[in-house]
Structure 1
Amino acid sequence: MWRVGIDVGGTFTDLFAWNEQDNNYKTAKVLTTKDDRSRGVLQSIEAAGIGFGDISLLMHGTTTATNALIERDFPDAAFITTEGFRDTIEIGRQHRKALYDPYQTKPKPLIRRRHRFALDERMAVDGKVRRPLDVEAANKIAATIAERGIKAVGIGFINAYVNSEHEQQMRDILLEHVPDAHVVISAETRPIFREHPRFVTTAIRACLMPVMTIYFDRLSTSLSEKGFTGTLLILKSNGGVMGAENAKDRPEELIESGPAGGVAYASYLARTTGFGNIIHTDVGGTSFDASIVENGGGLITRNYELEWEVPVSVPMLDIHSVGAGGGSIGWVDDGGSLRVGPRSAGSEPGPACYGRGGLEPTITDANLVLGRLDPTLSNKFSLDVEAAEAAIDKLAEKIGLTRLQAAEGMIKISCETMAQAVKGVVVERARDPRDFVLASFGGAGPMHACFVAQAMNIPKVIIPGQAGVASAFGATAMNVRHDVEAFHYADLGTVSVDALNEIYEQLEVEARERLARDSVPADKIEIGRTAQMRYVGQTYEVDVSIRSGKIGQDHLSEIAEAFHAAHRQEYGVSSDDFPIAFVALGVVATGALTEAPIFNFASSAKAEGSEARSRKVYFEGEWVDAILKNAAEILTGETIRGPALIEYHDSIAVLPPRCDGEVDPHGNLLVSISN
């Protein structure tokens, strides 16, 4: 039986699959079907030549949730909150993205103001009812929502994280008026304090539930009609997977579903190469993703923002994304400066060289013009060189440059944008990029990896043998995972250990129930504990690992020391002068799947008829002879000196002058970077 990983990107849908009996593997790459992304999933399986009935596990990373939110492409939803908090999700925290920009505007609200309702009720911070729910007003609001035909509603009352009685009461009233509505409450979505991220995350769940329910139902039906009888698992933003039914109920956990597979592949590389600290980067058709894998695992954040002041308050891999990919479009701004992205040609119409109607110059067109892409993509795809040149010429004429200057300028600007994304994830976590290696994924990743590493002074780049389908590969190496959390504020010095033990026990019960819903056997479940902690008076927390088993009074000093260490790791300092407080408790529940085998993608012998080849490539203002090799022709330990082009099945690695690469025993190209 086959374990299949599929990643649906903005331009391509990628597949990597391995046979659980003999560890044979297959790959496929097809254009993403934007009108119905589930069709691309089926097409990729068919392109790989795998029978649907031969699939045991289908691990699916999807950008459907993210795209729906960014494009505001979902049915109208409603939001009900406490009187005085109607505009919280729009006002936000009154932060400014750019301090001195008088023209900046806030993102479009997820839920229109006319569909946001305020209700007289009040729960105190200690969970006691200060003002009961106005039942008459609640019924009027529910009737209005029913009249408007709205079928998705979020409910977020102030202080509901300590007592959800009023939210549950409002939900019951709503369901009496609209029995088939998707109704979500903040106490179940995010039972943590701070109303803005809690309300926004609840609104996101409400907006996405109809979209993702339709998508997963359509995909499941289509797979069944093709003979699929295995298990469909969906990639989550926290680095794990969950069943489709759980995914329909918790769509806010899918925001980074696609990039999460890349982080999993970086963790796989850490396990197989010995490089424990890796900066994972993934360049697709529309975006560039960057994140850190440290000590073999991805870093988690709770401060993710979909857009400025649109927080998603769930545990997520700390991934920074920018609009820079193979389809990113070059343009000239009002000041006459050359810019690239974030707008992308995507898969429809795609870059000009695709011959699908695209007329604007993209990064892919620029690489083709500079000789870094083979016009036949090794006899897999025919690229229109003349169309690419015509698109670049129009841009060059606007800015007063030659064709080659404009094309190389586009590449440099795009790579600098990628480098800034790397800087964002590394520097904000107080890490030194020189202590990491950069792993480059995605069809366009290996073409730009060395330039990004040079910009960030990263000494070494890893280009895996399956870089072009890395996120799909990573999907097959992931475990089922659920994060469950609860608010609990208490000073460490006065905390009740009985309360800690009781809350952790309740969280573990809920986590096991979620895993059981995903059909994880009890003997495959692993539970880890965490706590969000801070010095008293701080407005931010750090994650601290907490021991398993019963917590006693004598364990509190151990917890304190773990907090100090975590604080030093994140911020470089710690203090014994300030008291410590718990803010929230959590568990990480994992359902362990069979671990992915260690694949060897290296060649064992020279291909017959292979010989040294070269091609003229434009680097640093001049044409130079670059070595041209097929990855299948390179043996383990062989050194390739730049300038060079290495052709893989799904990507092309570009080694600039003065950068040398060597193939390790697993088929990864290790490139030493020279500035």
Structure 2
Amino acid sequence: MRKTEYENLASQNGGGSGIRLAADIGGTFTDIAAFDPTDGSLVFGKTLSTPDSLIDGIANGVDKAGTAFPDAGLFLHGSTVAINTMLERTGARTALLITEGFRDIYEIGRVNRPDAYNLFFQKHEPLVERALRFEVTERLYAEGEVYKPLDEDGVRETCVRLREEGVEAVAILLLHCYANPAHELRVREIVEEELPGAFVSTSHELSQEYREFERCSTVVANAYIGPKVKSYIAGIDDRIRADGFGGSFLVPVTGGENAVEIALFMGLEIYPFRFAIIAANGLGGKRIAPTRGVFEGELDHLLIDDIGVCQNQGTAYQVA
């Protein structure tokens, strides 16, 4: 994001004096950076992280920085909640709906092995057990034309099983949906009707790859972390709004080059991008680390290094 974009966002929604806040939550400490564009001052607040309620650590850090949410016009927060959920395997109980005949593609994957001569090699345990993978009667040609119509009644019957199994999230992967998403969209509509409140993710909105396994693993990961990420971000948004914040809440996404408005991030129109924050914390941190440069003007050349202990990656040395 360029300086003018930050300025425009900071001036929206009556964001107080326009102080710009950035928060980073680590395994031990929570760090806050508060920049005041009126006098160019940059203040930092460091406090112990609060694992039981991470937002409390943010609030404490903002207080230590000598400011308050009502005075802020912009709040930027990078998080490791997505990748932690994957590594700790604490995501939602997820089901996979997939084209008939391809139930096991998610577990089979590709025939290549990362360590071909390791006799003790073991594949990762799938995020979705086989009992929660259900076939959908339908088929499209590679060009997107319908070969076999979608069996909507069959999808509704499957939804009964999903309710019985206590499924919280549903990943949908149908063949050649990148060429014609109609069947995936219809399956999503049915699932949302039959399982109100469930997190539903469709593969064509996440990836346009023409092979099935890559889209399948991506949509499963998105569904698996989706409910937890949504709850986490919504909880922070609710808390800072209750504390008087009236500005723009941004979340950096993977790559670190950009951030998205939280209202859009949580909106149905781009809901798949919750998966995009899975590696956003370290990358976003290096993007916003030169706070003065980002907030005050353009930077022609910049080298940033970061040595530290990350919650999920151990000790790391990173350069951008």
The verdict on a shared fold, with TM-score over 0.5 as the criterion, is yes
Is 1:158–2:175 an aligned residue pair? yes
Distance 1:256 1:130, change over 3 A: same
Please say if residues 9 and 284 of structure 1, whose CA atoms lie closer than 8 Å, have aligned partners that are also in contact.
Answer: no
Deviations 1:341-395 (A, max 9, x none): xxxxxxxxxxxxxxxxxxxxxxxxxxxxxxxxxxxxxxxxxxxxxxxxxxxxxxx
Is 1:286–2:310 an aligned residue pair? yes
3-state SS of paired residue (2:170): strand
Partner of 1:43: 60
Is 1:106–2:147 an aligned residue pair? no
For residues 220-369 of structure 1, the aligned pairs below 5 Å read 220-239=237-256, 240-248=258-266, 249=271, 250-265=273-288, 275=301, 278=303, 280-286=304-310, 322-325=313-316
Using the alignment, how far apart are the partners of 2:234 and 2:131 within structure 1?
30
Deviations 1:39-77 (A, max 9, x none): 222221112121111010000011111111111112201
Using the alignment, how far apart are the partners of 1:253 and 1:260 within structure 2?
12
Please say if residues 236 and 253 of structure 1, whose CA atoms lie closer than 8 Å, have aligned partners that are also in contact.
Answer: yes
Using the alignment, how far apart are the partners of 1:264 and 1:32 within structure 2?
22
Letter in structure 2 aligned against 1:113 = R
Q: Tell me which protein shows more strand as a share of its residues.
A: 1
Letter in structure 2 aligned against 1:282 = D
Using the alignment, how far apart are the partners of 2:249 and 2:306 within structure 1?
24
Using the alignment, how far apart are the partners of 2:289 and 2:55 within structure 1?
26
Deviation at 1:81, TM superposition (A): 0.5
Using the alignment, how far apart are the partners of 2:298 and 2:179 within structure 1?
45
3-state SS of paired residue (1:284): strand
For residues 580-659 of structure 1, the aligned pairs below 5 Å read none
Partner of 2:20: 3
Aligned mate of 1:120, from 133, 137, 149: 137
Distance 1:322 1:68, change over 3 A: closer
Deviation at 1:32, TM superposition (A): 2.1
Using the alignment, how far apart are the partners of 1:128 and 1:120 within structure 2?
15
Q: Tell me which protein shows more helix as a share of its residues.
A: 2
Using the alignment, how far apart are the partners of 1:274 and 1:221 within structure 2?
37
Partner of 2:47: 30
Please say if residues 221 and 275 of structure 2, whose CA atoms lie closer than 8 Å, have aligned partners that are also in contact.
Answer: yes
Distance 1:138 1:168, change over 3 A: same
Distance 1:247 1:27, change over 3 A: same
3-state SS of paired residue (1:285): strand
Aligned mate of 2:164, from 118, 122, 147: 147
Deviation at 1:27, TM superposition (A): 0.6
For residues 154-553 of structure 1, the aligned pairs below 5 Å read 154-239=171-256, 240-248=258-266, 249=271, 250-265=273-288, 275=301, 278=303, 280-286=304-310, 322-325=313-316
Using the alignment, how far apart are the partners of 2:148 and 2:282 within structure 1?
45
Using the alignment, how far apart are the partners of 1:62 and 1:182 within structure 2?
20
3-state SS of paired residue (1:117): strand
Q: TM-score, normalised by structure 2?
A: 0.83
Deviation at 1:122, TM superposition (A): 1.0
Distance 1:17 1:175, change over 3 A: same
Letter in structure 2 aligned against 1:66 = I
Using the alignment, how far apart are the partners of 1:30 and 1:209 within structure 2?
28
Deviation at 1:229, TM superposition (A): 1.6
Letter in structure 2 aligned against 1:258 = N
Letter in structure 1 aligned against 2:69 = F
Deviations 1:172-227 (A, max 9, x none): 22223112222221122223322222112211221222112211221122112222
Partner of 1:71: 88
Please say if residues 11 and 284 of structure 1, whose CA atoms lie closer than 8 Å, have aligned partners that are also in contact.
Answer: no
Deviations 1:289-316 (A, max 9, x none): xxxxxxxxxxxxxxxxxxxxxxxxxxxx
Deviations 1:606-641 (A, max 9, x none): xxxxxxxxxxxxxxxxxxxxxxxxxxxxxxxxxxxx
Using the alignment, how far apart are the partners of 1:135 and 1:85 within structure 2?
18
Partner of 2:147: 130
Using the alignment, how far apart are the partners of 1:179 and 1:194 within structure 2?
30
Deviation at 1:134, TM superposition (A): 2.3
Using the alignment, how far apart are the partners of 2:300 and 2:177 within structure 1?
46
Deviation at 1:163, TM superposition (A): 0.5
Using the alignment, how far apart are the partners of 1:6 and 1:266 within structure 2?
11
3-state SS of paired residue (2:315): coil
Identity over aligned residues, as a percent? 31
Deviation at 1:82, TM superposition (A): 0.8
Please say if residues 10 and 284 of structure 1, whose CA atoms lie closer than 8 Å, have aligned partners that are also in contact.
Answer: no
Please say if residues 13 and 32 of structure 1, whose CA atoms lie closer than 8 Å, have aligned partners that are also in contact.
Answer: yes
The answer to which structure, 1 or 2, has the higher relative contact order (CA under 8 A, 6+ apart) is 2
Deviation at 1:266, TM superposition (A): 7.0
Distance 1:273 1:224, change over 3 A: closer
Using the alignment, how far apart are the partners of 1:151 and 1:103 within structure 2?
34
Partner of 2:7: none
3-state SS of paired residue (2:179): coil
Please say if residues 255 and 284 of structure 2, whose CA atoms lie closer than 8 Å, have aligned partners that are also in contact.
Answer: no
Please say if residues 157 and 167 of structure 1, whose CA atoms lie closer than 8 Å, have aligned partners that are also in contact.
Answer: yes
Using the alignment, how far apart are the partners of 1:272 and 1:179 within structure 2?
47
Please say if residues 96 and 172 of structure 2, whose CA atoms lie closer than 8 Å, have aligned partners that are also in contact.
Answer: yes
Using the alignment, how far apart are the partners of 1:92 and 1:38 within structure 2?
39
Supply the RMSD in Å over aligned alpha carbons. 2.4
Distance 1:105 1:323, change over 3 A: farther
Deviations 1:565-611 (A, max 9, x none): xxxxxxxxxxxxxxxxxxxxxxxxxxxxxxxxxxxxxxxxxxxxxxx
Partner of 1:395: none
Deviation at 1:265, TM superposition (A): 4.6
Deviation at 1:286, TM superposition (A): 3.1
Deviation at 1:274, TM superposition (A): 5.8
Using the alignment, how far apart are the partners of 2:298 and 2:181 within structure 1?
47
Distance 1:41 1:89, change over 3 A: farther
Q: TM-score, normalised by structure 1?
A: 0.41
Using the alignment, how far apart are the partners of 2:65 and 2:184 within structure 1?
48
Using the alignment, how far apart are the partners of 1:192 and 1:203 within structure 2?
15
